[in-house]
Each structure stands twice: as structure tokens, then as C-alpha cells.
Amino acid sequence: MGKVITLGEIMLRFSTNQGTRLPQSDKLNVHYGGGEANVAISLANYGHTVSFASKVPNNSLGEAVKKHLKRYGVGTETLLFGGNRLGTYYVESGIGQRAASVVYDRAHSSFSEMTFNEWSEEILFSEADIFHISGITPALSHQWRTLTLELMKAAKRKCCKISFDINYRGKLWTQKEAGSVLKMLLPYVDYCSAGYMDAIHLLEIAPRPEEELSYYYKKMQAHYPNIQVFYSTKRTVTSASDNELTGTLWMNETYYESKPQLICPVVDRVGGGDAFCGGVLHGLLTKENPQDIIEFATAASALKHTVEGDCNQFSEEEVNSFLAAGSGKIIR
């Protein structure tokens, strides 16, 4: 097992019940969300030593975040307290052909207003194998663009592998802004979650509709030869409650695809990408065979779609038995 540090913003998430729009809701379900916190929880579920670095207000909401992370076995020694508020976001659940939609209310949060590195490099990266961060963080402020780069460089000095999920969020910044920041960050990355939309719209790789995903991975690696592993999912969406998910991986200059996983019905898609990322990182830390890595990560993501909330709720054993049994079986 390995030691992993993930860093990012954690938020309170409020979501409607299916079939209810936000403006008509008089009750909302409460969960925690945040891409990097979700990855930390997946890895803790699989038995890794993992700590989450963030900043939350020094009040009972911040204390509740700490309890949430501890409940899953995520280390909180790098969770800072201070600042003004805990970011929140609202999810209007999708149903049938109507997609889910998100409203962020995270301006002036304790994390987004950080202006300098408040962590000690020693504490943050000591004995860590992987430092995981995502494109959501540099989207939060100009200061975070500089800080993300600084932290990546510091992690490299400590010989950590850098894992980066592009996680483009169009409600936080434009493609142009994201593209120019990515150019600065990607030279430090070892493992990258990026799909063909990222390649075309953010990394300026000319679209070639006749080409498969492997073409884009090859092109991205030609631009960034430091990145050893690329991965993403291909999703066939038949409706908001019915998806087929295929995991893809570029590793050792070879393209791998998982068998497709049918998710029917989709209970909650949010966090599916983080569960996939957690599965890939777990695979990179523990598995030899790239095909096994991508099968595990895709199954982990498929399972996440069956539960409410952003976090993966399944252990390594449960993901493996889902893989072995296939969907739709009773486990006795």
C-alpha cells in the first residue's frame, strides 16, 4: 500500500430529490463534495495511508468536515482551520433525458482565499508516494494558479509522483484560461486524467473525428513526455438514468480499454470520475498489469454511480467481487 496526499477544496453539497427542481425544493439532501477529497476517500477505502490537505473555517462546519474525513479513515493533519466560510454547492438531480446541473456558492471560501502556502513541505509530502491535485483548484483564483505550481514543484523535490485530474469546470473558468494554466502545470505531472475533449479544447490538439482516443493520448504524450499515464472514461449516455461506462488507459505507450460496465439506473453520477481516478491510483500503487488497473477503476466508478453522494463507498474486496460477479447478481 502507498501513502498519498490529495489537496483541494471540500464543500457541503445540497441536492434535490430526483424529480424536483431547485427553485421548488423545500428540503435538500446533504453530503460533502470535492474532487480531491473524494479521491482521498476512495484510497482510504482501499487501505492506503492518505491525508487530505485543505482549509476550512474554524467553526462547527469546519469541525464537521474533519469528522467526515476521519469517518472514512482519511488523515486530517494537513487540514487547516481559518478563513471565512465553507464553500457549498447545489445539485439539481437529473432524471430521464434531463441532465443534473450544479450551482456553486463557493466565493470567499476559506480554501479559495488562501494566498500563500500555509503547509510545511516536510509535513505535507513526507514519505508520500503520490501528490494528487486537480484542475478545479487553479480555477478558484489567480493566487491558486501560482500556489498549485509551487506545490507541484515542492512535491517533485520530495520525489512524489504528481497525479493531476484536469477536471475542467466551465462554471469556474474559460477554456482559454484553463488551457494557458495547464501548459504551465502539465510539465510537472506524472499521471493525468484527461479525455479527448480536454485534448481538443484545452490542449489545442487538432480534432480528427476518424481517430480513436489512443490517437489523442499519443499526441498528449508527445507534448508532455513526462506524463507516463493518461486515463479517462468513455460514457455512452442513453438517458440520465442509464449509462455504459468504459475505462481507458494509456500506459507503457500502449492503449488499454476495460470491458464496458452498464449502469442502470444511475443513482448519482457526481463523483464517478473521482472514483475512477481513485481506482487508477490504487491500481498504479498495487497492480502490475495495466488491464487489471483499468478493469478495477471502471468497476469502482460504476459502483459509485449506484450510491447517493460524491464519495465512493466500496472497499477493494467489494469492487473485486463486483468485477468477478458482474452486475445484477446477489451476493450471498
Ligand X SMILES: O=C(O)C(=O)C[C@H](O)[C@H](O)CO
Chain contacts with ligand X (rule: CB under 6 A): 33-35, 38, 136, 169, 270-271, 273-274, 310
CA-nearest of 269, 260, 272, 274 to 241 is 269
Q: Are 124 and 5 in contact (CB under 8 A)?
A: yes
Cross-strand pairs, 251: 229, 254
Instruction: Quote the least distance from Cβ 265 to ligand X, whole Å.
Output: 19
Instruction: Quote the least distance from Cβ 275 to ligand X, whole Å.
Output: 9
| φ and ψ of 305, to 5 deg | -65, -15
Among residues 102 and 187, whose Cβ is nearest to ligand X? Answer: 102
8-state DSSP, 111: T
Instruction: Quote the least distance from Cβ 11 to ligand X, whole Å.
Output: 6
Alpha-carbon dihedral 76, 4, 273, 86, rounded to 10 degrees: 20
Q: For residue 277, give the H/E element and its range.
A: helix 272-286
Residue 14, C-alpha cell as written in the block = 445540497
3-state SS, residue 35? helix
Among residues 205 and 302, whose Cβ is nearest to ligand X? Answer: 302
Among residues 274 and 295, whose Cβ is nearest to ligand X? Answer: 274
CA distance 316 to 282: 9
Instruction: Quote the least distance from Cβ 164 to ligand X, whole Å.
Output: 14
Cross-strand pairs, 231: 193, 249
Among residues 35 and 57, whose Cβ is nearest to ligand X? Answer: 35
Residue 59, C-alpha cell as written in the block = 467553526
| φ and ψ of 152, to 5 deg | -60, -45
Among residues 125 and 168, whose Cβ is nearest to ligand X? Answer: 168
Q: Are 247 and 297 in contact (CB under 8 A)?
A: yes
Instruction: Quote the least distance from Cβ 10 to ligand X, whole Å.
Output: 8
Question: Angle CA(87)–CA(91)–CA(94) in degrees, nearest 5?
Answer: 165
CA-nearest of 24, 77, 72 to 51 is 77
Among residues 270 and 302, whose Cβ is nearest to ligand X? Answer: 270
Nearest-CB residue for ligand X: 33
Give the gyration radius of the chain's Cα atoms: 19
Instruction: Quote the least distance from Cβ 14 to ligand X, whole Å.
Output: 12
Q: Are 124 and 130 in contact (CB under 8 A)?
A: no
Instruction: Quote the least distance from Cβ 215 to ligand X, whole Å.
Output: 26
Among residues 169 and 287, whose Cβ is nearest to ligand X? Answer: 169
CA distance 238 to 244: 8
Q: For residue 175, give the H/E element and its range.
A: helix 175-185
Among residues 53 and 270, whose Cβ is nearest to ligand X? Answer: 270
Instruction: Quote the least distance from Cβ 310 to ligand X, whole Å.
Output: 4
Among residues 169 and 234, whose Cβ is nearest to ligand X? Answer: 169
Placement of cell 427553485 in the chain: 23
Instruction: Quote the least distance from Cβ 177 to ligand X, whole Å.
Output: 16
